[in-house]
Chains A and B, each alone.
Chain A
């Protein structure tokens, strides 16, 4: 290998090698996983193989690389070749493995027998049953078969269509509960387009988000994390170092809001009025781009009722806050406004904002050749109506879990009961599966060929990375076989199975791309897809939209419920993954539960106490969850996270919290609600003691003005000579590993935490043990809020990851009587599990409290244990453990370098957390190499660097960079 090979290209190369090894993966499934009786020459025991694939945990469609050891996928990593993930993936993506190995996964077909209980059936029986019912339905008439699924990607969609056609039906619904239907409608009204734009936040100098929580679930979170980190990197503007200004408008302080300069608390639905008043300021100041060719008079008329003073008075938002954000928006070279609520008027207003300031095409990009849209609410409603009218004989549900997530007003359960035969296909049975007549287990995306089309120019390709865990079949195989049984002719369904069909789809793509198909196909498999630069489509604002952009009068409601998409559970699909349940939600820091976020003032009025159960009753029903007191929500609003409250979604999801989607009458996520304390108390379990860091400088901050002046905060003044050292300092002849963590980039998304769980075989302990302080995470997100009296001179939230600081003078080392905690000559504090007797003194003496003790013997519900990383020892009860900087990765790289007779290259080693971080907040490297990217990051940010708890002089090797804020009240 040549000099300068980065880890990125290493993975690419490894994936190439892996592509050949993937061939056995697409052969018919073996009945059991058998380790190498006849060794595969491409697989060296002990060496990982990397396969590129695509994540299907959310619609963003990040490219991933699966690390496979001895035939089992043990870790998902971002695909460096993929333009969306760029080598990073979020916590939900990491947890995809826990779907693959979920102990509640359906392992064989099941049929509902007499009395409603499910009994196992053979594939032959199940398929015969399925095809017989389909044949009967097709005989009964046209359109009596229907198909509901989540976004399946081009090939599977094609197959599903073909299958439906074979049975004389066209009723296909792509159901995505939290899809941005309003945004799609606005694209149509404003720009006459059917697709959604994508955004270049990194190209903007100012940002306003109206309820778009893009650092959590909105849009493509991994991509937007990366873009936002670039957006927030201080840049020279007009000769002065400045920070791009971000404002969030919404009822609650979401993760995105917490990383903005300003959070403007509004009542749900008032966002549109604020957007229009921003527009009025732009008009008044003459900042509306002349190029946009907009009808300024019409615009004036539109905004006439939305003067800042009027809107401020009507919404209770300070006028100067509106002016400030409008000024920063209007004065910027390029800016972006985002809309994330389900209010169509807001989406129109935001589209106008972007268009009239000339940002469409710059930061808001429409491109031709985008993916097929998900079904609109009207299409979904039409199907449900047909079901309720007994017009459907056979319904196949392959994703989306409509029983759980459909708006209550649709009465989906009742409609489902009218369907003669309901077939569920999927991995882990959910509420919809429980209501089905036949359950057919399908492959996890990591077990089969599939493809995705997240946006124009990005085609993802997923290949099987391992043999099947259970006796499952690809969805496409099932549907194709069924289509043939239903009389589909060979020319309609020319493919053997899903693998063939994917190949055929890519033949078409390859033909478009030109060149030899074999080369194209190999590159696609290696890169995990086919990516091309897209040119922004020329779009223009349709002036007719001005007429459709008047906020309707809303009936005043004393209390509004907002269903807030949970960063890990999303529409509920994440709740069956123990990692996602155990990792604290970054803002609330609550685990294994739902909560009702409520302002203390609102709570007082209702007689609600902290942790007291609140019953929320809407027009559609009621749910109950514990109250979480929070200053970060507008009074008069309560927010409940989505995704919990499952009744039949496996052992990890059932009976946890409440399902807020079940009380939403329609598609809107903000509804009027009545709240009542039940008098019961259920403690919300959190890993966090309090919100204040007590001015201990754990997450430090600096204002952009001080940064521009280069004022080094007092703690960074020249240090007095080192104090007398009792023990001789260690020597680090070769490497000295260290890390640089940028608190300005960190959003608290916890991808690092999930990556650590996956990489280092961390055990999930459950709610009760989390409450007792027995959580095992080696890295955690420290989330604090500034004290109220200092809020002007601080960011809204102070957040940074906390992991072992690998101190030079580590307090954990000398206190261990048995040398279980020892220092390496590469600067690591290593924990030697076999030596540990469990005095726990090391943890007592650790100022950062990053050591974890095994209070019990770690256990994994089978087959979750198949995910365990064989390079990392599984610890027994009674020993201490902690972050090792992923010593297994360091050692792997060092041995590789030794074999190849070369030094270890900078960037070759990436601990799991560093690799996962979507905003690239962490860099790992060698402190002995001043040219390493990690050291350079420290050097280039001299003013921002700090050490946590520096005054205790333990010599940490993790250097943090201060979070940057703009002084409040300044534009």
Chain B
């Protein structure tokens, strides 16, 4: 790792870091507001289409028997998957004391929160009667009914809400010292906002002690969620007996896929962000390199999963399962499968090249492909398996509709809107941890075990 250490910017002082991060929070220019206006417009489009869908019923979608879940649930799984990498980077890598996470974890964690917030919309959007979505929650009611705890959808409800709660707490806790930091220089309404959000942080010894303990505990709590949440989401499918869904490999397979797509999206967001915000000295090619390695590793894991899934199907001698997979490869939606293989298994192999891992533009392109590939993966599994079910007479392939596409676009816009607002109004890079990292590195270099980095 000696080469990598050289890339680390040891120059910035604490003041440099403060200056760089605070500079991001300066009032944005016209280009930013045009971007925000664009995103608001798309979000409103999605919201309008959803309103229309609530009013007219799900007839406005392209759904029908047997493909009763398609784009909405694909989006749900996709966004839940995205959410994973944030916690992975912020919590698990924190526990492992992985130093390169400091510069990127806040962005990743923010992405998690907003991805969960986006994902959480879709189970409601896809309901036939969305105004009763709260019936999935256990609460005392006049119907004397609690949700059925046998249903994976109930598990989902708990998994997602738990995940959102823990991630939000974890994220917010980490923010407190940094918000207090920017509070010091802010003026006007921003000052008031940061003052409230800083929760009276003074940076006293006692506060730091409590902060470190709370942060460690929350990291500990969040860690199992990284594995559990997407496992639970995968059981929405694995617990059903539909050929193509009913598989024990789903939990690890989905978790790997989630990390794969999540880290890829972190890169997709960071690369333009570091360029736009001028923080290339904080988020360096070294960081990109490390994230790209995670993408490469998870890409290999899911390629293996695809292979195992197909092998087990062949080995099972179950003709119905085999037919589902045959249709997955060569049916009317076969092209989606091959898009998925190209994007998830073939293109990421380019990341074996260190040059590509450290060059922002090629890396950005690869991650875009990964995002596309992972969306298709979910669609192929969810809708494709439904289309080729047990009853050959009832097979039918879904046709896209403007509503579903519009709401999908709206959801992307909604996510980017939240992220863009956050990036300009909150410290998107953890000053606290960056400073800790520099202290640690300097100490380490002095003591001569830099290779440990």
Q: Are B393 and A879 in contact (CB under 8 A)?
A: no
How long is the Cα–Cα vector from A881 to B390 in the complex, in angstroms?
20
Q: Are B148 and A816 in contact (CB under 8 A)?
A: yes
Interface string of A50-76 (1 = CB under 8 A from B): 000000000000000000000000000
How long is the Cα–Cα vector from A835 to B147 in the complex, in angstroms?
11
| Smallest CB separation, B27 vs chain A (Å) | 45
- Docked complex: B134-176 residues within 8 A CB-CB of A: 135-136, 143, 145, 147-148, 150-154, 157
Q: Are B153 and A836 in contact (CB under 8 A)?
A: no
Q: Are A879 and B65 in contact (CB under 8 A)?
A: no
Other-chain contact of B148, A692, A819, A856, A880 (Cβ < 8 Å): A819
Q: Are A879 and B392 in contact (CB under 8 A)?
A: no
Q: Does A815 contact B (CB under 8 A)?
A: yes
* Chain A residues in 8 Å Cβ range of B150: 727, 814-815
* Chain A residues in 8 Å Cβ range of B390: 696, 847-849, 949, 952
Q: Are A693 and B153 in contact (CB under 8 A)?
A: no
Which residue from chain A places its CB closest to the CB of B319 in the assembled complex? A695
Interface string of B15-57 (1 = CB under 8 A from A): 0000000000000000000000000000000000000000011
Question: Could you say which of B3-11, B239-247, B409-417 contacts chain A?
Answer: B239-247
Q: Are B57 and A849 in contact (CB under 8 A)?
A: no
How long is the Cα–Cα vector from A531 to B133 in the complex, in angstroms?
60
Q: Does B62 contact A (CB under 8 A)?
A: yes
* Chain A residues in 8 Å Cβ range of B154: 817
How long is the Cα–Cα vector from A802 to B135 in the complex, in angstroms?
32
| Smallest CB separation, B307 vs chain A (Å) | 25
Other-chain contact of A689, B128, B240, B392 (Cβ < 8 Å): B392
Q: Does A782 contact B (CB under 8 A)?
A: yes
Q: Are B65 and A815 in contact (CB under 8 A)?
A: no
Q: Does A841 contact B (CB under 8 A)?
A: yes
Q: Are A836 and B129 in contact (CB under 8 A)?
A: yes
| Smallest CB separation, B261 vs chain A (Å) | 23
Q: Does A526 contact B (CB under 8 A)?
A: no
Q: Are B69 and A840 in contact (CB under 8 A)?
A: yes
Other-chain contact of B135, A690, A780, A783, A837 (Cβ < 8 Å): A837
- Docked complex: B69-110 residues within 8 A CB-CB of A: 69
* Chain B residues in 8 Å Cβ range of A689: 392-396
| Smallest CB separation, B358 vs chain A (Å) | 44
Question: Could you say which of A172-180, A473-481, A599-607, A767-775 contacts chain B?
Answer: A767-775
Q: Are A878 and B64 in contact (CB under 8 A)?
A: no
Q: Are A696 and B151 in contact (CB under 8 A)?
A: no
| Smallest CB separation, B393 vs chain A (Å) | 5
Which residue from chain B places its CB closest to the CB of A839 in the assembled complex? B153
Q: Are A855 and B64 in contact (CB under 8 A)?
A: yes
Q: Are B151 and A690 in contact (CB under 8 A)?
A: no
Other-chain contact of B151, A782, A816, A849 (Cβ < 8 Å): A816
Q: Are A880 and B128 in contact (CB under 8 A)?
A: yes
Q: Does B59 contact A (CB under 8 A)?
A: yes
Q: Does A655 contact B (CB under 8 A)?
A: no
Q: Does A877 contact B (CB under 8 A)?
A: yes
How long is the Cα–Cα vector from A411 to B150 in the complex, in angstroms?
70
Supposing A693-B392, A837-B136 touch, asked if A817 and B129 sit within 8 A by C-beta, the answer is no
Q: Are A814 and B393 in contact (CB under 8 A)?
A: no
Q: Does B127 contact A (CB under 8 A)?
A: yes
Which residue from chain B places its CB closest to the CB of A838 in the assembled complex? B128
Q: Does B311 contact A (CB under 8 A)?
A: no
Interface centre among B59, B62, B154, by most chain A C-beta atoms within 10 angstroms, is B59
Q: Does B68 contact A (CB under 8 A)?
A: yes
* Chain B residues in 8 Å Cβ range of A845: 240-242
* Chain A residues in 8 Å Cβ range of B69: 840, 844
Interface string of B239-266 (1 = CB under 8 A from A): 1111000000000000000000000000
Supposing A837-B136, A845-B242 touch, asked if A693 and B59 sit within 8 A by C-beta, the answer is no
Q: Are B66 and A839 in contact (CB under 8 A)?
A: no
| Smallest CB separation, B123 vs chain A (Å) | 8
Which residue from chain A places its CB closest to the CB of B245 in the assembled complex? A844
* Chain A residues in 8 Å Cβ range of B386: 844
Supposing A774-B64, A836-B129, A837-B136 touch, asked if A844 and B242 sit within 8 A by C-beta, the answer is yes
Supposing A837-B127, A840-B69 touch, asked if A818 and B136 sit within 8 A by C-beta, the answer is yes
Q: Does B323 contact A (CB under 8 A)?
A: yes
How long is the Cα–Cα vector from A880 to B130 in the complex, in angstroms?
14
Supposing A836-B129, A855-B57, A877-B128 touch, asked if A814 and B66 sit within 8 A by C-beta, the answer is no
Q: Are A878 and B58 in contact (CB under 8 A)?
A: yes
* Chain B residues in 8 Å Cβ range of A727: 150
Q: Does A811 contact B (CB under 8 A)?
A: yes
How long is the Cα–Cα vector from A696 to B62 in the complex, in angstroms?
28
* Chain B residues in 8 Å Cβ range of A829: none
* Chain B residues in 8 Å Cβ range of A688: 393
Q: Does A404 contact B (CB under 8 A)?
A: no
Q: Does B363 contact A (CB under 8 A)?
A: no
Q: Does B63 contact A (CB under 8 A)?
A: yes
How long is the Cα–Cα vector from A814 to B155 in the complex, in angstroms?
12
Q: Are A853 and B59 in contact (CB under 8 A)?
A: no
Q: Does A230 contact B (CB under 8 A)?
A: no
Which residue from chain A places its CB closest to the CB of B136 in the assembled complex? A817
How long is the Cα–Cα vector from A727 to B149 in the complex, in angstroms?
13
Q: Does B132 contact A (CB under 8 A)?
A: yes
- Docked complex: A839-862 residues within 8 A CB-CB of B: 839-841, 843-845, 847-849, 852-857
Other-chain contact of A878, B57, B236, B239, B393 (Cβ < 8 Å): B57
How long is the Cα–Cα vector from A180 to B157 in the complex, in angstroms?
66
Other-chain contact of A840, B68, B130, B157, B399 (Cβ < 8 Å): B68
Q: Does A694 contact B (CB under 8 A)?
A: yes
Q: Does B205 contact A (CB under 8 A)?
A: no
* Chain B residues in 8 Å Cβ range of A784: 392-393
* Chain A residues in 8 Å Cβ range of B297: none
Which residue from chain A places its CB closest to the CB of B123 in the assembled complex? A839
Q: Does A670 contact B (CB under 8 A)?
A: no
Q: Does B320 contact A (CB under 8 A)?
A: yes
* Chain A residues in 8 Å Cβ range of B152: 815, 841
Q: Are A847 and B151 in contact (CB under 8 A)?
A: no
How long is the Cα–Cα vector from A572 to B241 in the complex, in angstroms?
45
Q: Does B184 contact A (CB under 8 A)?
A: no
- Docked complex: A790-842 residues within 8 A CB-CB of B: 802, 811, 814-819, 835-841
Q: Does A698 contact B (CB under 8 A)?
A: yes
Other-chain contact of B57, A693, A837, A847, A854 (Cβ < 8 Å): A854
How long is the Cα–Cα vector from A784 to B153 in the complex, in angstroms?
35
Q: Are A857 and B57 in contact (CB under 8 A)?
A: yes
How long is the Cα–Cα vector from A695 to B323 in the complex, in angstroms?
11
| Smallest CB separation, A291 vs chain B (Å) | 50
Q: Are B127 and A835 in contact (CB under 8 A)?
A: no
Q: Are A782 and B393 in contact (CB under 8 A)?
A: yes
Q: Does B389 contact A (CB under 8 A)?
A: yes
| Smallest CB separation, B330 vs chain A (Å) | 15
| Smallest CB separation, B126 vs chain A (Å) | 8
Q: Are A837 and B129 in contact (CB under 8 A)?
A: yes
Which residue from chain A places its CB closest to the CB of B392 in the assembled complex? A694
Interface string of A759-783 (1 = CB under 8 A from B): 0000000000100111100001011
* Chain B residues in 8 Å Cβ range of A952: 241, 390
Q: Are B65 and A690 in contact (CB under 8 A)?
A: no
Other A-B pairs, 14, CB within 8 Å; known A811-B241, A815-B239, A877-B57: A689-B396, A690-B393, A694-B392, A696-B320, A769-B64, A772-B63, A773-B396, A802-B393, A817-B153, A841-B152, A843-B68, A849-B389, A849-B394, A879-B129
Query: Interface on A for B, CB 8 Å cutoff?
Result: 687-690, 692-696, 698, 727, 769, 772-775, 780, 782-784, 802, 811, 814-819, 835-841, 843-845, 847-849, 852-857, 876-880, 949, 952
- 8 A-B contact pairs sorted by A residue (CB < 8 Å): A689-B395, A773-B64, A817-B148, A840-B126, A840-B128, A841-B151, A843-B65, A844-B68
Q: Pick the 9 closest A-B CB pairs, nearest first.
A: A838-B128, A878-B128, A773-B64, A689-B395, A877-B57, A856-B59, A840-B68, A814-B150, A878-B129
Query: Interface on B for A, CB 8 Å cutoff?
Result: 56-59, 62-69, 123, 126-130, 132-133, 135-136, 143, 145, 147-148, 150-154, 157, 236, 239-242, 319-320, 323, 386, 389-396, 399
